[in-house]
Amino acid sequence: MTASDDARIMRAAIALSLRGSGQTSPNPNVGCIIEKNGLILGRGWTQPGGRPHAEAQALAQAAGMTQGATAYVTLEPCFHLSPRGPRCVELLHQAGVGRVVIAALDPDPRTNGQSAAWLRDQGIRVDTGILADEAETAMAGFFARQISGRPSVTLKLGLSLDGCIAMADGTSQWITGDAARAHAHVMRASHDAILVGRGTWWADSPRLDVRLPGLEQRSPKRLMLGHGDTPEGWILIHDPASIVQLDGVSSILVEGGAQTAAAFLHADMVDRILLYRAPVIIGGGRQAVADIGLPSLDAAHGLWRMMDTRRLGGDMLEVYLRQRAR
């Protein structure tokens, strides 16, 4: 296989990994592909609840044909023992694969690098770092938990061209169109939890469920930022830093409003922004983001990088990633 073949197959494995997004916490949503002589023999991704692992799924599909095959995994296979299932590193060895291609090493200290080393000791060729950034982005919640100890935070904003999320009287239905709203529902389904501020909850009583055929069961946990009573079915947090303590939550989608967006931006806890933009001018409407305590314009530069843009019906989606030193 050439380097570009490796990248092509790994990209497909990353796409598979996204199927488990928001469903596997605290486990990572891994993707795996078993390839031999140019044929794809098995495809797997971490199943809801975290088991079976992607490797187990893909190897089972390829059963009987795995001798000398190559396994592409978006995350280093697990090295540590678990009462819930076999160690993937052993499964791969038992299956007789000749090569393992790994996107990102597992930051979990119980595995971190040990699986790659052990596989090499067994005479299996191991390549690492193939599309590592893309894989980490696809498993953002797991990496955020492992590295910074908190869930990853995605801020969703639906804006007019002049940056308004509603008219001055609060009317916000609808700025963006059907395609953008459907995409936003897919984003809900791929996060462990959704968060709104108390003001947004009072104004809109948002259901924050997933209104897409076949995905109704994937509605995430519902969080509210604020103080006072907690509506049934909601979890109340008093400030952004509290998300560290949320059990079983590795990824959060912050949906509104301007004060809540500002609170997370001020705390520098936003890792990704989804900007849904409609080709309309509102004029004098409600702003998307309240005061974030920016000391100067200089301080605003260099923080965000656009990683994706796409058309959604008449609207545009832009995805920005927070640039952080590692």
Binding site for a second copy (CB under 8 A): 157, 159-164, 167-168, 171-175, 262, 265-266, 273, 275, 278-284, 287-294, 296-297, 300-301, 303-306, 316, 318, 320
- Sign of CA pseudo-dihedral 162, 168, 174, 180: positive
Closer of 102 and 157 to a second copy (Cβ): 157
What is the closest distance, in whole angstroms, from the C-beta atom of residue 163 to a second copy in the complex? 1
Q: How many CB atoms lie within 10 A of CB 161?
A: 12
Strands (DSSP E) found in the chain: 31-36, 39-45, 70-75, 99-104, 125-128, 152-159, 164-166, 193-197, 221-225, 235-237, 251-256, 272-277, 286-287, 304-312, 315-322
The Cα–Cα gap between 254 and 194 comes to 6
- 128 is written with which tokens? 């690492």
What is the closest distance, in whole angstroms, from the C-beta atom of residue 175 to a second copy in the complex? 6
Closer of 63 and 168 to a second copy (Cβ): 168
**Nearest CA-CA partner of 95 in 75, 130, 115, 124:** 124
What is the closest distance, in whole angstroms, from the C-beta atom of residue 193 to a second copy in the complex? 22
Closer of 82 and 171 to a second copy (Cβ): 171
Closer of 206 and 279 to a second copy (Cβ): 279
Clarify whether 55 is annotated catalytic.
Answer: yes
What is the closest distance, in whole angstroms, from the C-beta atom of residue 84 to a second copy in the complex? 41
Closer of 172 and 251 to a second copy (Cβ): 172
Catalytic residue among 55, 76, 136, 255: 55
Say which DSSP state 99 is in: E
The Cα–Cα gap between 69 and 172 comes to 53
β-strands 304-312, 315-322 pairing: antiparallel
The answer to whether residues 8 and 37 touch, using CB atoms and an 8 Å cutoff, is no
What is the closest distance, in whole angstroms, from the C-beta atom of residue 256 to a second copy in the complex? 13
Active site residues: 55
